[in-house]
Amino acid sequence: MPYAVIGGVATRMYMPERTTAGIDLLVEPENIDRAIAQLVGSGHELKPQPLAFMDTRLGLIGQRLALGRPVDVLSSHQSWVYDAMASVRWENDTLPIVDLPYLIALKLDASRSVDQGDLSRMLGFASAHDLDRVRAVVSRLLPADADDLEQYMLLGKHEVGEAN
């Protein structure tokens, strides 16, 4: 079943690695129940409540499981999920990581303080070409966040010493 790693583990492809408690997986909406069942079958404990995403503009749905560390299985019924799944980049040919534009959109949607730090760092290390790709995805999925995105880009370039 196709999946893409998102969240803190995925950020290490685009910036220096940071510590994170668990792993977040993105799956297509028709596969979310199957993904959860496979994890339960491999010994993961299903947490009683589905994950709640307040004010998600990307329509996120999900479920937390745990086997020592938490595993969040996420999806959306919005069409962007299929584009994100088709965009994976492989880390060491073993780990499918969601492409930078979709990871940035997910972090913008989440708006937690740790996500804000991730945004500036990932954008600071991104190439001009990747920044253009990020702008295109964010303008399509989260157009109200375009100005914030530009600010995160400026902060990120300043943080990594590339500010003009």
Range of the domain at 133: 4-159
| HEC profile of 5-60 | EEHHHHHCCCCCCCCCCCEEEECCHHHHHHHHHHHHHCCCEEEEEECCCCCCCCCE
pLDDT (0 to 100) of residue 4: 97
> Across residues 45-73, what is the average pLDDT?
94
Cα–Cα distance measured from residue 109 to residue 53, given in angstroms and rounded to the nearest whole number? 10
Residue 44 falls within a domain, yes or no?
yes
**Which one, of 94, 100, 105, 93, lies nearest residue 125 by Cα?**
100
For the cut 70, the answer to whether the pLDDT of residue 42 exceeds it is yes
Residue 144 falls within a domain, yes or no?
yes
Number of domains in the chain: 1
> Across residues 70-93, what is the average pLDDT?
96
> Tell me, what CATH number does 91's domain have?
3.30.460
* Lowest mean pLDDT segment, chosen from 69-78, 107-116, 144-153: 107-116
Q: What is the pTM of this model?
A: 0.94
Structure tokens at 66: 């745990």
Residue 164 falls within a domain, yes or no?
no
pLDDT (0 to 100) of residue 92: 87
Q: How many residues does the chain have?
A: 164
Residue 127 falls within a domain, yes or no?
yes
Q: How far out from the chain centre does Cα 61 lie?
A: 13
